Structure 1
Amino acid sequence: MEFDWSSNQRELYAGMSAAVAERFADYETSADPELVRLAWKDAASIGLTGLCLPAEHGGAGLGALDTALGLEAFGHSCSDMGLVFGVAAHLLSCAVPVGEFGTDEARELLAGMAAGDLIAGNAMTEDEAGSDVGRIRTTATPSGEGYLLNGEKSFVSNAPIADVFVTYAVTDPTAGFLGISAFVVPRELAGVVVGPPLPKMGLNGCLAARVRFEDCLVPAGYRLGAEGSGGAIFQHSMGWERGCLFAAYLGLMERQLTECVDRVVGRRQFGRKISGFQAVSHRIARMRQRLEGARLLLYRACWLLDQGQPDVTAIALAKTAVSEAAIANSLDAMQLFGSAGYLAGTGIEEQLRDCLPTTIFSGTTEIQLELIARGEGL
């Protein structure tokens, strides 16, 4: 059992972290689609949009653990977690299923996705189908050489700037989970309607919107996998997303902890550094404990993916641990910074806002706990 990084992994993390810091040192979160696209091109130039995609399509061909390390470096050195989240979602919930389940026709999109020329949005969630994917109402009806898509997705990350969508629709309403199929849908197809950007509490660098399909004819070559395999494809992509995307929050927590240590060492109250107060030092210790515990669980889940042993329980444990640690540490950071942390500008309040949705997206904490319980035979 090996707990240390290899020399290649150390080089990957250090190089990626330095490159991100160089390109995003002065980057400010923007809601301007053109500026966001420019930021994506910077991320793509480092290789972040193609970490785990096949080399023949312009990707780096990395496994799950090394992909997680790259995203951890991204989260550590880029303060815009919205951008980090958007790039990771594009890669893991969209490019991965296209790469692994797409036809030759669909896989032609991968080079553009790896290069950041094509931005992808994951169009799964609906008003009545969040955690319960079996309640999807979007339909895909066979028509000629393709499928007519009809329905509306309520929350699609990257939608305002997306060039392509990975979506899921019902092809057989009598088959339940086995009646869902997956598709990759270029935005340029007639019948794709993207709504205005949705105002959100955080992750503002990741623009999101509703997406509607109105008799959108999708060529059969853009179906992913066999008809009816969409549910399994979605679960596979969620394994990668829950395992690797949350590594970015490990990076955020590492950066946040450094900021907190600098703060308490440099600030004096009652004639001494506040780091000397046990109430402060123990809070820092707890932040480190949560971070390291979450990191070990996430690395283990990714390692299992690389061994060809995707473990639903291990992934759920990791996702839950990281998301809960990120929120708890951000609340501690707010307390350690005091009123300065509540003000915009220090980045502490932004970190908290960006961490709060981690217990919701990629499957709520409640869903993860159900998966863990099932793993125990309950």
Structure 2
Amino acid sequence: MRYDYAVVGGGIVGLATAHALAERHPGASIVLLEKEDGPARHQTGRNSGVIHSGIYYAPGSLKAKMCAAGVQSMMAFCDEHGLPYEQCGKVIVATAPEELPQLERLYERGLQNNLKVQKLRAEEVREYEPHVRALAGIRVPSTGIVSYRQVSAVLADLVRARGSDIRFRARVERLTPRADGYDIGTTAGDFEARVLVNCAGLHSDRVARLAGTDPRSSIVPFRGEYYELRPERRGLVRGLIYPVPNPEFPFLGVHFTRMIDGSVHAGPNAVLAFRREGYHKHDVDLRDLREVLANPGFRALARKHLREGAMEMLRSWSKASFVRSLQRLIPEVTADDIVPCAAGVRAQALTPEGKLVDDFLLIDGPNALHVCNAPSPAATSSLEIGRAIAARVPAAPRRTLPLTHQGVPA
């Protein structure tokens, strides 16, 4: 079958993109191709469910702009479709004197990003989170929680309701560019599309290369492992509690997150996964592992962050080490209070020079757009990312001019 648009990837970004394309281009034929047997099986369905405020992101970046707008559009979407969410806010706390300057920088960044942020003294932190022991903190009231699996299910229904197709178990194995689009070979048959939109997440770089476009980066999978507080200990956490992140390390640190179902998750760490969908410590894919270890950019990254990487690996294999990280925030937590729960894998783009791509990365190819880096806060920003993509690709039904090659710098 021939379509105007083919979207590869059935996570929340792919679903939001198909939804936005249908809204912007009524009457266009759209197909979404997803290799799993349902939507949101990977990053979307395994994240912490946070509606991020945008406090961490560089002012003017795509992350900052789309996250700020995404908070509002995500909550409006939930209101419209009766989905549960809660704007519970979060606290970011400094537990050591050397963290106070970075906490102040975060506060200033929040102001630069037009957020309503509040400085907290130690006693004020305890008013929000009585079990936290900190020197100072920041309150970010716009942060919320939601189930992105539920959001994705509604998006899938909306995509179908507009007459678009969703094909599950349709792994893309071949992309052949043509003057007027692409031939697409999948495990569910062959398709033709005038415009290709790549939202393949953990496999986005490979899909881009299949289409003949250089993604200018490679995906490195980082597994984030979580524990869950036992039900009788959930009272230790009221909302969301984050440490001051290390500015030299591109992850937010182990934190506490109250989920929309009332459970409380603790984590994640960030360890190299030996498989792109490696949700367990013993998951290994030799192709995936060879690609990472042969990547000079990854070797440069590993050398730069050797100490931090070793600490993350220790937390992965040692529950006692993980608990010590949690006790920096809540000293009362013990090993008996937590049990392991499902892990996730972050698809992080890495440049050949060894730099982790800090912003969303959108790269245009001939009659195509490739989302080559969309880690957190992509779920929060998904509706905005979808609208931006729909505005950027050629209009349906007959325009066939190729897109110019451009992208968002790392």
Scaled by the length of structure 1, what TM-score is found? Answer: 0.29
| Higher normalized contact order (CA 8 Å, seq sep 6+, divided by chain length) | 2
Give the structure with the larger strand fraction.
Answer: 2
Scaled by the length of structure 2, what TM-score is found? Answer: 0.27
